Amino acid sequence: MPSDSDSNIATADALTLLLHNQHALGAAIEEVTKWLSESGVQPVAENAVEAMKTLDTNAKAITDAITRLRQF
């Protein structure tokens, strides 16, 4: 059975990968948002901006969780 430390490391590693994916999705949404704004579809672009805000908020929480896990 893995120790708590091993489990924390594995969990932190998995969360780190998810965080990287979240950053990649945010970058993609940002590019689409720019294109939407330039194409005159402002309401859709505004929705995309709100989605990016959610990604940013959740990224902070995930980063905090990773930090806590790596401290133990």
Give the model confidence (pLDDT) of 4-41 as tens digits: 899 999 999 999 999 999 999 999 999 999 999 999 99
How many Å apart are CA 63 and CA 30, to the nearest integer?
Answer: 21
Question: pTM higher than 0.95 for the full model?
Answer: no
The pair of three-digit structure tokens given for residue 1, joined into one six-digit string: 């059975």
Length of the chain: 72
Q: What's the pLDDT at 21?
A: 96
Coil/strand/helix, residue 4: helix
Domains contained in the chain, number: 1
Structural domain range at position 14 = 4-71
* Dmax (CA) of the chain: 57
